[in-house]
Structure 1
Amino acid sequence: STESGISDFRSPGGVWSKYKTVTIQEFISDREKRIYYWKYKSETIPSMLKAEPNHAHLAIGKLDQQGKLFWLLTQNIDGLHKKGGVDKKRIVRLHGTNREAICLSCNRVIDIKTVLERVDRGEVEPKCEKCGGLLKPNTVSFGQGLNPEHLVIAEKASMECDLFMALGTSLQVFPANSFVDIACSNGKPVIIINRDPTPYDDLAKYRLSESLAEVLPMII
């Protein structure tokens, strides 16, 4: 989603070059870490909420509307795939979403805008209004496991697809990068489109480094 104006995490100038990471264990146990985490989120999420799908998102949405999209496995936490026209039933949000907050005690899910408004009013570590538990953006933090059901779907999709496309990803993060291996080991052709090299480029049948927003609509 960088071409929608959203910073990535690992590139120079990305999110992790500006903010310190907070593990899930630190978030739960350390009030100062929670305050820092919500400050960071309150500074970064509003611009994400204003972002619009770019031509790559819209091309994937078109693919879904044509009945050609099997599953969309995404590490993005911005929600732009749904906004770009992909049916939410086919989206596997491996790393969650910044558009929701979740209570770590009762699992209540709340619109993130509501929680950010509370932070803006001075509530530095917002709590669940139902049970008093800690609220956190509904994303997967460092030290936090991925949803096992999502992993099962992703592995099955990688084995059963006709074509596996890795789009706009550095393929440096496990287990998401392992799905390329799974697809290849099951004889599925792989296309990688990313501006920078990835560790899996040699496995790809086709490897493109052009702008995803420019080249994907031409392919689809």
Structure 2
Amino acid sequence: MVEEADVIAGFTGAGISTESGVPDFRSPDSPWLKNRPIPFEAFVRSEEARREAWRRKFVMDDLYRGARPNRGHRAIASLVESGRMPAVITQNIDGLHQASGIAEDRVIELHGNGTYAACLSCGRRHELAWVRARFEQTGDGPRCEACDGIVKSATISFGQSMPELPLRKSVRLAMTCDLFLVVGSSLVVHPAASLPVMAKENGARLVIVNRDPTPLDGIADLVIHGEIGPVLSGFIPDREA
């Protein structure tokens, strides 16, 4: 089915990165349960909350510091390189799609990126090494070098508005593809989970590759419950396998 498609919309969730050692959110023993992200409103309101948010952030970063793209990422990168997948939409914040060789403008990040930070006031980018050094020196969340605004990981926290441009790009791709390929997403987080439905209603075929069942399995044209690496490894060129 993938081989027959002309325009493929890739859509990935946490499941594609578990082979790289990045924990998902919903496993019973997930470290995210002990280090839950701080809600946006609390982060903005309280210095104490910002300190705790950065502490949890660096605990999680240390858990998967050596993560590298796996077979699933390389398979998606191969589809993008082929020209049949204009972009990959991802719920992930780990930057592994970019690390697999996909250009920044071909990765649509719905939930932001956890590999750097940004000022909430002026948007200036701050590298995590600088943030961590300041945090370890002072114990407080750093302020922006340019405007003294609050600096936050460049991810979308609970209660924070979704970025409009990535969402518009995602909807456009969902509406113009002839195959929507879901890889490693539980499809329970909205509005992201509505994208496969949009594509399906617009005539695209829907393929879901995920370890566990999803709420949209019933409308999919093909569902594969299994480990992502082995399922997608056939799309990796022999030279990279």
TM-score, normalising length: structure 2: 0.87
Number of aligned residue pairs: give it.
Answer: 220
Of 79, 85, 106, 1:90 maps to: 106
Identical residues among aligned pairs (%): 39
Give CA-to-partner distance per residue, 1:186-220, whole Å, 9 cap, x none: 01001000101100001111100111011112256
Which amino acid in 2 is paired with 1:27?
F
Q: CA RMSD in A?
A: 1.4
Report which structure shows greater RCO (CA 8 Å, sep ≥6): 2
- Which residue type is aligned with residue 66 of structure 2? K
CA–CA distance in structure 2, aligned partners of residues 3 and 72 of structure 1? 18
Runs of 4+ in 1 over 4 A off after TM superposition: none
The Cα offsets for residues 117-152 of structure 1, whole Å up to 9 and x where unpaired, read as 322334421111222111110000000111111111
**2:130 is the counterpart of 1:130:** no
Query: Which residue matches 1:2?
Result: 18
Partners of 2:81 and 2:163 in 1: CA distance: 27
Q: Which runs of 5+ in 2 are unaligned?
A: 1-16, 237-241
Structure 1: 5+ residue stretches without partners: none
Give the counterpart of 2:170 among 120, 132, 154. 154
Work out whether 1:110 is the aligned partner of 2:133.
Answer: no
Counterparts of 1:50-199 in structure 2, within 5 Å, are 50-199=66-215
Q: Distance in 2 between matches of 1:187 and 1:135?
A: 43
d(CA) in 1 for partners of 2:226 and 2:174? 24
Q: Is the 1:49–1:99 contact (alpha carbons within 8 Å) kept by the matching residues of 2?
A: no
**Shift of the alpha carbon at 1:50?**
2.1
1:31 aligned residue (21, 30, 47): 47
Q: TM-score, normalised by structure 1?
A: 0.95
Matched, 1:42 2:58: yes
Query: Could you tell me how far apart the structure 2 residues matched to 1:21 and 1:45 are?
Result: 13
Alpha-carbon deviation of 1:15?
4.0
Partner Cα distance (2:185, 2:38) in 1: 22
The partner residue of 2:218 within 168, 177, 202 is: 202
